[in-house]
Amino acid sequence: MSQSANSHARVLQDAIEAHKGGRLLEAEAAYRSVLQVRPDDPDALNFFGMLRCQTGHQSEAAEFLRRSVEVDPKNPHAWLNLGNVLVMLNRDEEARTAFTRATELAPDLAMAWFNLGVCLGRCKQPLEAASALHRALKIEPGHLPAYESLAVVLHRLGNYEEAAEVFREWLAHDPDNAMARHMLAATSGAETPSRAADQYVRVLFDDFAATFDENLASLEYRAPQLIAERLTREARGDAPLDILDAGCGTGLCGPLVREVARRLAGVDLSAAMVEKARARGCYDELLVEELCAFMSSRPAAFDVVLSADTLVYFGALEEPLRAARRCLREDGLLIFTVERLNEEQDSGARQRSYRLETHGRYSHCERYVGAALAGAGFGGISIETGVLRRERGSEVSGLIVLGRAA
């Protein structure tokens, strides 16, 4: 190696060390100095491409990484990096090609198989995605994100028994994971909890918040409208009301009831969802707290408690209904929706009050809901059926429930 080549190699190594150490301006200057003299250095192109991605210049990063694999098409890590940047740019088909090339060059590179599996899922190829994710786990059995991604793919395919086995293996490597534990119960039917764990609900909706409203719109979601209609029919008098939106989520109920509210409060476990609700600008008070604890801490504070599809994360309803009764004033209204457990279609429904469904939410028998309301101190109980949304092409039947604080 010539003295000049040695010098450039040292500069490149210094750039990599600065990059690893977070000294990005120093690393960028060094990468540029190498590329000015050796514009086709594949390693400099690869690492500089990743730095440009890290600093928010994804399109430019993709071009540097593309040049790197053109110069040295046998570097699986450069193909992997290129695929990752292409995914960020929503160029999924190109990313799939890059990840596939990485797996061909390095068949034992678990991350390449994992990223290929995730990409195939984005490309609506679930069977191929499952195969790639299985391969990643065979290479690296403790790869936790691969368990999650594989379980999601199998669940969407309706392969619940296989999904349950993946959730079981995931728990073996991550025994405190609330998502794996809850969904194992949902897909296997074993050890059903009486309610979803707070951590499960929090993680689920923090992750879901960014696309929540758009996803529900595509499902023709109607629970907030159904609740607002019941409130309009049942509220007595013209006096403005103190209303609690219990499990407010992104605040879909807020605009529908703001006009009749003197004070509108919302509470939810997910901080990300509450921030979405805050952006609507129609709540007087928003808090990130556990629902039952919050309602129990506000005795006789509200005229109305609304809850759109929040109690679907409770199997046993006694605790939240008692808490709702405590925070309501005399003759106050509780209106909520849950998914309906159809006793006619489920031969075992008469022996149960609720069921944890494979999607992770609970459905409830109408007779149980009525009994739980009465036991919590509600009268004037009225339960109607309606369509809450569409899911996988089918209507989801729900109960629109009303009770008055006796």
Q: H-type helices in 140-222, by residue range? A: 144-157, 160-173, 178-188, 198-208, 212-218
Give the tens place of pLDDT for each residue, 80-102: 999 999 999 999 999 999 999 99
Q: Identify whether residues 157 and 106 lie together within a single domain.
A: yes
The CATH number of the domain where 41 resides is what? 1.25.40.10
pTM of the model: 0.87
Whether residue 204 lies inside any domain: the answer is no
- Categorize the per-residue pLDDT at 348 as very low, low, confident or very high, splitting at 50, 70 and 90: low
Q: Are the C-beta atoms of residues 118 and 98 closer than 8 Å to each other?
A: no
Q: How high is the pLDDT of residue 4?
A: 55
| Closest C-alpha to 25, from 55, 46, 49 | 55
Whether residue 380 lies inside any domain: the answer is yes
Where residue 237 falls (left for φ over 0; alpha for ψ -120 to 50; beta otherwise) is left
Domain that holds residue 313: 212-405
Whether residue 206 lies inside any domain: the answer is no
Q: Identify whether residues 383 and 238 lie together within a single domain.
A: yes
Whether residue 205 lies inside any domain: the answer is no
Cβ partners under 8 Å of residue 376, min gap 6: 318, 321, 322, 324, 325
- What tokens were used for 358? 């494979």
Q: Identify whether residues 24 and 142 lie together within a single domain.
A: yes
Q: Identify whether residues 135 and 220 lie together within a single domain.
A: no
The CATH number of the domain where 264 resides is what? 3.40.50.150
Number of domains in the chain: 2
Q: What whole-number distance in Å separates Cα of residue 323 and Cα of residue 325?
A: 5
Q: Are the C-beta atoms of residues 9 and 39 closer than 8 Å to each other?
A: no
For residue 344, pLDDT beyond 80? no
DSSP reduced 3-state for 363: strand
The residue out of 165, 199, 233 marking a domain boundary is: 199
Q: Are the C-beta atoms of residues 305 and 295 closer than 8 Å to each other?
A: yes
Whether residue 342 lies inside any domain: the answer is yes
Q: Identify whether residues 162 and 232 lie together within a single domain.
A: no
The residue out of 172, 199, 226 marking a domain boundary is: 199
Q: Identify whether residues 9 and 126 lie together within a single domain.
A: yes
Q: Identify whether residues 244 and 125 lie together within a single domain.
A: no
Whether residue 334 lies inside any domain: the answer is yes
